[in-house]
A and B are shown apart, each in its own frame.
Chain A
């Protein structure tokens, strides 16, 4: 089925957000999913035409990222985290329970077209383990019983809210937000879930704070050199300050050189860590 004129116009709009239009491809594919229910050959062609690249280039991207689906997805994409921590905390049991309850395998959709079940990787909510995601909204601290209740409610059309977000929308509506079109729901849900606030709560109880910048000698001084090395006794003599600054500059150069010339292993390890 060919894409609607409206969808095509929105694809063009997405490409226009970037200094180079090909940068729009990931959100454009999200919009294709929102409009067509999956990545379709027509959607691939439309993206290729707009970006002036080959359909093979677009297909290569669409098949690389796991959120892009070539089979129709149900109204609710239900993800169960089975990466190590959630698995150990019960994610494996939840996933097995849901497969059995819904009578589907991994990445399969129920006969009524309501639910697609998939095990997912770490979704950055480990302090709420075991975690589930419905249309990429957090469903924190799940159990096999709560998971069954959740999918039953979704299939029955009962209103369900994310534990840290709004009423759940459909998968296609969610994909539209990922394409960069706001749905006006940012103001719903709490600021933070309970686990996010435990450390802050303890600090409040005990009166712990970061140092007060006004009540010490920490307020940014005029002399940047004093600022530079608070742990080191600063010599009042300006000549000495300059000497120290020069030494620091040398350190910087040396450190930079060390980083750039590090062994490939260390360097890539460092870069990858930065990655996360």
Chain B
């Protein structure tokens, strides 16, 4: 029986100066690299395939399979790009990982690059996290100095250079082809696929793009074996993942557990919802994954379980809201975010997110009529699946799911002539928490 929480990636986060090479190596760090360099690259791909690791950036695509799509007969250079542009609202796992243990990521980058025969790798980190960028830059410099990077790594004949690249503020660059545009020095606008990046990615060359947590999981798989990794999790969602709890819960934070844990278990570990309040709605994997409610406390949080109730596991970014939160206000704010972040390339998303904000904002002010709910759903219908990337699709998720679960909350704005909910009650310093009277 596997334990409820299984710290692997988070296991070193409480170590003294955990970000240094010295600490990392004293705890066995770079041992997996030594093992990997003695393996054939294809054996590493097979090991990652066999582990069942699926992309931790949200899509859940099998990582080893993605690597095997790289055409090795293509004469162009191969590239590994790490997507460290963590920006999906609610998602906050890669940032603490890179801050606390950047060497886990760097070791994963080296092993993964070796597996796909890349001699150049890039870590694209969103620009708005200065100290995280410092820590990753320092880790890469230390890895070069120790001979883990550069020419002829530990006498293996294998060369690898890693560049840490800071973004400049664009949610869309978390989308893998927009990220490649940013990395090529262009506006971050998604590309039409096919061709997929595995065939024509960075500089039109074969490219693997993986999330930070996916790559950081690789050293443990190589070090401990595929079967060890696959002994955690559920039948089709193997291994562990970091679950990020935020919002109206007693102890928000990072909980690393086998996939398949339930929200009931997680909230229990987190000390329950905040004192005197109950769960109203939550996102399982960021704001782009349809909202769920207290009905879904016992859904296994794996790819299949969450899909089975009409949402997505996404990045396990669990944002919890209690009954003091106005769902219309919450959804409007997310919608304004998508409108702001739409890159403007595809008309349905660029114009559609603008219209969604207009319609929702009027409803939130208590203007309009019940028919506007159908109008909103119709607008969603005209956005979903009609653009190059999934930003517009994501924008429709909170709207259509909230109308489904909380139609009466929308109507209450019309009968009340505005928002009937006191916004001060949902704050972290709300009087109701201390028992004081506002």
Q: Which residues of A contact B (CB under 8 A)?
A: 17-20, 22-27, 29-30, 51, 60-61, 64-68, 79, 82-85, 87-90, 92-93, 120-130, 133, 135-138, 141, 143, 162, 164-166, 174, 177-180, 182-183, 185-187, 189, 191-204, 206, 208-211, 213, 216-221, 224, 226-231, 252, 255-256, 259-260, 263-265, 267-276
Contact = CB atoms under 8 A, between A and B. Distances in A.
A231 B297 CA distance: 27
Given A186-B135, A211-B228, A270-B59, A129 B247 contact: yes
A133 B59 CA distance: 29
A124 B126 contact: yes
Listed residue (A67, A88, A275) with the most chain B CB atoms within 10 angstroms of its CB: A275
A218 B225 contact: yes
Contact of B141 (A178, A182, A197, A271): A182
Given A141-B428, A192-B96, A87 B130 contact: no
Interface residues of B, number: 150
Nearest to B343: A64
A116 to B, nearest CB: 14
Contacts of A26: 127, 165-168, 182, 185
B364 to A, nearest CB: 13
B429 A220 contact: no
A224 B247 contact: no
B199 to A, nearest CB: 11
Contact of B128 (A133, A166, A187, A192): A133
B89 A84 contact: yes
A245 to B, nearest CB: 10
B71 to A, nearest CB: 13
Interface in B173-212: 174-179, 182-188, 193-194, 196, 203, 209, 211
Given A88-B321, A138-B131, A275-B174, 6 more contacts: A126-B89, A187-B138, A216-B231, A230-B227, A268-B393, A273-B58
B300 interface: no
Interface string B43-81: 100110110000101111110010011000000010000
A140 to B, nearest CB: 11
B288 interface: yes
A67 B168 contact: yes
A32 to B, nearest CB: 11
B27 interface: no
Contact of A211 (B15, B163, B231, B429): B231
A122 B89 contact: yes
A188 B248 CA distance: 31
Contacts of B331: 84
Listed residue (A22, A26, A183, A265) with the most chain B CB atoms within 10 angstroms of its CB: A26
B315 A276 contact: yes
A256 to B, nearest CB: 6
Given A186-B138, A192-B13, A227-B225, A198 B131 contact: no
Nearest to B211: A274
Contact of A272 (B85, B86, B126, B394): B394
Given A65-B169, A199-B254, A84 B91 contact: no
B185 A51 contact: yes
B254 A210 contact: no
5 contacts: A197-B13, A200-B10, A276-B86, A276-B88, A276-B211
B227 A274 contact: no
A199 B269 contact: yes
Given A122-B88, A273-B59, A213 B137 contact: no
Contacts of B224: 213, 218-220
A180 B130 CA distance: 11
Interface in B1-18: 2-8, 10-11, 13-18
A202 B286 contact: no
B370 interface: no
Contacts of A191: 13-19, 99-101
A198 B227 contact: no
Nearest to B321: A88
B134 A182 contact: yes
Contacts of B174: 272, 275-276
Given A177-B133, A182-B134, A124 B57 contact: no
B244 A127 contact: yes
Contacts of A193: 96
Given A135-B130, A196-B253, A220-B227, A85 B138 contact: no
A192 B175 CA distance: 27
Contacts of B253: 127, 194-199
B432 to A, nearest CB: 14
B14 A192 contact: yes
A179 B171 CA distance: 19
Nearest to A231: B235
Given A202-B5, A276-B87, A271 B226 contact: no
B93 to A, nearest CB: 8
B329 interface: yes
Contacts of B14: 191-192, 197, 200-201, 204
B227 A129 contact: no
Contacts of A162: 131
Nearest to B187: A64
A124 B91 contact: yes
A202 B269 CA distance: 8
B350 interface: no
Given A129-B428, A192-B100, A67 B251 contact: no
B431 interface: no
Contacts of A183: 134
Nearest to A220: B225
Listed residue (A18, A217, A268) with the most chain B CB atoms within 10 angstroms of its CB: A268
B385 A263 contact: yes
Contacts of A51: 185
A122 B225 contact: no
Contacts of B2: 210-211
A227 B226 contact: yes
A45 to B, nearest CB: 16
